Every structure is written in structure tokens, then in C-alpha cells.
Chains A and B, each alone.
Chain A
């Protein structure tokens, strides 16, 4: 497979995962804030910004809908949902002949819907009506991205290209989950007395729902939202698709599949790097993690994800010609 193609598929997938995550985060928080006093809005939305990695140039100014518009629809903001969709579609356009027609339809249709000038104008206006539509819009994006994933799994050959899509998705998801947990941890674990009891329940629920984990958590631990259990679930659960461990396991599987196609010996350093991360997650317990500095732990995971990303590039995309000729 061409390096450029791998690069495009990887980023197409990352951008879609990013869009999906941001969409869910906004949707969940717009919903939960309705049950809450206006006083706690500041904390909630600052936390949202932090979970999104504090996008440059976006600030909390007291209006959740205005913030949502900025994070969802502002094409000037590189991290906005619409920018992610545009970028994902642009990457897919570059590899149009590599993905299935169904995948292209799905993504192209979403792109055309999102960039319609009327829609942009309508949603950007300040009217009450448009705030309701904003929520409908977020749901539309989420559904479309889910459908794209379904279509990808069922119409594309699960060869190297598909594996690069998995790599992009899970590396993005792992980083996002780490960032999300970190944002909540600093806020909730850090100041246990700052929240009232009912608020606290909503906040924990918000955390779980932001990772589509609420229902899955309840099945395992019942609806008692216990902070340590939540942490255990989001970080270490083996079977939940948004947990950190699941993401890294899937990432490692995809990388191994790619290595089988493209030659094993070259990829040894990458296998070690991803394997090390996988092992620490597989054999840790939540108590161990909490005994130490959780924030530092999560930061370390993000650093390792970035190292894996760089190694992927060095091996498959941006390698030097001399090295390739010698190998």
C-alpha cells in the first residue's frame, strides 16, 4: 500500500473519531446542564474545554450555546466538528479509489449536509429555535459517524488499509479518553467538597456518558456511581470499546496485522513500544494507579501514544529512502 494512502486513511479515521468525541461531549453537557443550577456552568464548560485539550482561541464566555456553536460549526477553528469532518472528507477524497463507494457516499453526504451555507447561517444565528436545532445537528453527526464506521467494517476489505483506519481511530480514542478522565479527575477528585451530592451524581454520569459508557458501566457495577469503579471501567475494562485498555489492545492488534503484511523485522521497535503500553494496562489495578499520581499517569499514556504515532510515521510513511534501499 502506498505510504500516502496509509497516511490519508489514518488521518481520515482520526478526524472522524475526533469529531465524534467532541460531538458527544457537547451533546451530553448541553443535556445535563439543564438539570443544574447556572452557578455550576462555569466549572462544567471549562471542564469540557479541558477535555478537548483547550482548543486554541476558544474561551468560555458564559453562554453554552455560543460555545457549542464555536466548537461545532466554526470553520475557522481547526478543531471544530465541522473542520474535522471537512478534513476527514478531504483525506478520503485523496484516497477515493481505496475506500468503498458506500464509505465515500456516507462521508460525502455528511460533508455536504454540514457545509450547506443555509445550515451554517441558520445554526449560527442566536435564535432560540436554532439552539434546539443545534442538538438535532449534533445527533445527526454522531449517527452519521457511527454509520460510517459500520459501513467501513462491512464494505471494505479488512486488509492493510482498513487496519490503518483502526490504528487512527484507536490512537485518537485512547488519547481522548485519557484527556477526558484527566479533566474530570482534576475537577472532581481534586475538590471533593466543592460539589453537592446531586450535582456529583450528574457529573459522574456526564463523564460516563461522554465516553458512551453509562449503560455499559451500569451492567457491570450497577447504577451506583463509585469514582474508583468509574476510573477502573474507563481505564482498564477489557471489553468496553471506549476504555483505554480496549483502545490500546485494538491499536496493537491493528499494528500487528499491518506488520504481517509489510514485513516484521522493520517494525520491531513499534511492536515493543505499543506492547509495553498494552502490558502496563493489562496488568495494572486501579488501586495501584490511584496510589500514584493519576494525572501524571494519564499524561504518560498520552506521551506514549504520541511516540507510537511518530514511530508509525517513521516506519510506514515518512521513512528515509536510504534506509529503505538498505533494508
Chain B
């Protein structure tokens, strides 16, 4: 089914990205591209630089070398909130929700960039501001329904179990109606059932909204099932790039994952 979707043109291309902290090289000369509507996976052992790569794409880390071309604009660095405004949303490996706020409010913040009404109207809570709030509330309710989290709408997210928090975080990212969604280990620490749910959500998002997805995942079964193309990183270098089948049969990848004796 994933193959039936129409994969479009390249919307994101990273070229020769190098990133280091002090003397430690986190990424060296990484290049790959992401096409519209596809599910692109980044895999690799711990410390391979996967999360750093996402951080570079959405402007949180600034690479020393290389460029990122997104929707035709080429740049080396940008502020994270600029990336967000251009339609890049993401979730985090260690959940980064706003713990003191309810599920509803958390997802509503995802739409903050789309809300325009100023302080004055908001202070009075009249007319335009109120109308705007209600429109966005409706959109958020659709997401809440889609993710099946109606029952925790008003619960402060700090009190939710891990699996649900991950779901709320996905909701917050979706609320921004992104054209590119970055998911950092969306299924880490989940049990089989939760994983299946999450896979379903990711595929549905991709299917229904046509959102392009770049995800990092450790569960190879999941990656091979849901992704169109896979990039493999190891020690900050690109090891392989291709369809799940190509990657699976790549000798270097097998070596990196299974370990090989160099004698």
C-alpha cells in the first residue's frame, strides 16, 4: 500500500553536512534527499548522529559545513522557529511536552504560529480572537479524535503514561499541519500494542494528509515495514542509502549492525 502513493519531487535535500561540538565530530559530509509524500527512515547504532541530523534539519543545531535545501530555499542555518513557520514539525526522543498544560492546550500550541489575532482582541476575548480560537479548537479536536485521545483532553500531560504522551506529542506536531514531519524514535519504549497503534498513526498521517515523514527508529521490523527509503548512519558518516531491501542486503550495514571481526 505504501507503494501505491504517488511519491513526488525532492522537497528536502541536505548536502555535505558536517557538524561538530568542540573537537567531536557528530556528522561528517552527510548528503541525502527526501521526496514529497515519502516515509524516509534514518537508522543507525546509538551515537551515530541520527538525532543530530534532525536537529540540523529543523535549525536547532547549526552545521559548520554544508547546506540544506528545503522547498527550493538553500541555507546553512536558521532559527528553529523559522523552520517551524516553514512547515517543519517534529517530535522528540525524550518527550518534550509542556508538562503543566493540558493535552488540549499542548496541541493548541502547535497551531500558535497560525493564529494571528493580537493582544488587544485577545484581551477582550471578543469578535475576531474568539472566532479564531474556536476555528483552531475545531481543527485540534479533529486531531484529538484521529489519535483517539478524547478522554485525556483536559488532563495535564505530566500525569499521562509514556505511551499517551508520545501520542500527544505527535498530535502537537500534526496540529501545525506540517509539510515535513520529523519523528525522533516515535516508538521507543513502547510495548507491541502501542507500537502497532503508533505505526498505524504514522501511516495514516502519511496517507491521509500526504505529509512527508522523516523518522528515526531502532525497531528494524518497523522501519522495513513502513518506510519507502532508508538512510543508514554510523559514527556520523553515511553508510548506505536506498530502499529497505537494498539496505538490508548491504554488506557494510550488516557489518555495522552485527559487528564484524576485522582480521
Q: Indicate whether A and B interact.
A: no
Which A residues form the contact surface with B (CB < 8 A)? none
Interface residues of B (CB under 8 A from A): none
